[in-house]
Amino acid sequence: MSGRGDSSGATLVAPSLLREWPLPAPGADKYSRGSVLVVGGARATPGAALLAGVSALRAGAGKLTLAVAESVAVQLGVALPECGAIGLPETPGGSVKPELAPIASYLDRADAVLVGPGLDDPDLARGLLEALLEREAGRDGAPDSDGTERAAVVLDAYALGALVQLEDQLDPWRGRLILTPNPTEAGILLGRDVADLEKDLAEISARYGAVVSCQGLIARPPGPDPDEPELWKITTGYGGLGTSGSGDVLAGAIAGLRARGTTGAQAACWGTHLHAAAADRLASRLGPLGFLARELADELPALMLELSV
């Protein structure tokens, strides 16, 4: 993989770079394209989990399960018949409780677990991450006894804010963690305002052992090869991306690509580019503002096809 850099040293993510960094082959069936588990979807915000799930499938993932508040699971299963829908225990107000028993087997089988879209309570989100980390305590991200790699973990929305208080418990996830903050959430992860996004994302990436995608920039932790890029910059995108649900689509696309067998950096670079290019395409057809997040996901398959030839 090669790529032209800008004055900051970031590698520019252009179509030419992505064609030199191809996605895994489609495989023979849905099982070969990976399984995504989305955990989120409170009673008041089930659409966020739905958007993320649709985006994961549009990015080519083979299987999808949505784990959401039990009061909305059936509705989401009907709205997206291509998914499995699992009801999670919820509070009287409809927030998801941090109880993993209903999804234990799905966690074991997932290739990528996306946590956050549609969670609406920061304390319960923290409890959910704690429960997930406790479940993996002692495994340290190592492959299972049969050689199967542990699932990648993608965090978005309230799950990001909860991460700060769990920094000393993150060893099981380091190296397979992907974060998709907006600038405000990046500041929460740092404990201060964002001043220089490129440097700040590099700091977040090293601090949490994660690939980070924010505002068209992607950072990965330092690796053993000094010639490998650690910072990428997307070269496309439109202001209309600032619309409700857009971040859920981005997180879902990255999770779907990661489940297919990419690295975290490749999933983040491809997913962030596709998300931005989808906005460009919609802006050219519909106008600069007013297109919907759900429409972004629908553009992904054609864009991937164009980048594969």
pLDDT at 148: 57
Q: What is the CA radius of gyration of the chain?
A: 18
Is the distance from CB of 141 to CB of 177 less than 8 angstroms?
no
- For residue 111, the SS3 value is coil
Residue among 130, 197, 193, 202 at smallest CA distance from 162 = 130
C-alpha to C-alpha distance for 283 and 280, rounded to whole angstroms: 5
Is the distance from CB of 233 to CB of 216 less than 8 angstroms?
yes
Three-class SS of 16-33: HHHHCCCCCCCCCCHHHH
Per-residue model confidence as pLDDT tens for the chain (309 residues): 555 555 568 999 999 999 999 999 888 788 889 999 999 999 999 999 999 999 999 999 999 999 999 999 999 999 999 999 999 999 999 999 999 999 999 999 999 999 999 999 999 999 999 999 999 875 554 555 444 578 999 999 999 999 999 999 999 999 999 999 999 999 999 999 999 999 999 999 999 999 999 999 999 998 776 667 899 999 987 677 888 999 999 999 999 999 999 999 999 999 999 999 999 999 999 988 899 999 999 999 999 999 986
Amino acid sitting at position 203: E
Which two three-digit tokens encode residue 123? 């304390």
The structure tokens 């068209």 sit at: 216
Q: Which residues pair with 37 in a beta bridge?
A: 65, 113
pLDDT at 229: 84
C-alpha to C-alpha distance for 69 and 263, rounded to whole angstroms: 31
pLDDT at 223: 79
Enter the pTM of the model: 0.94
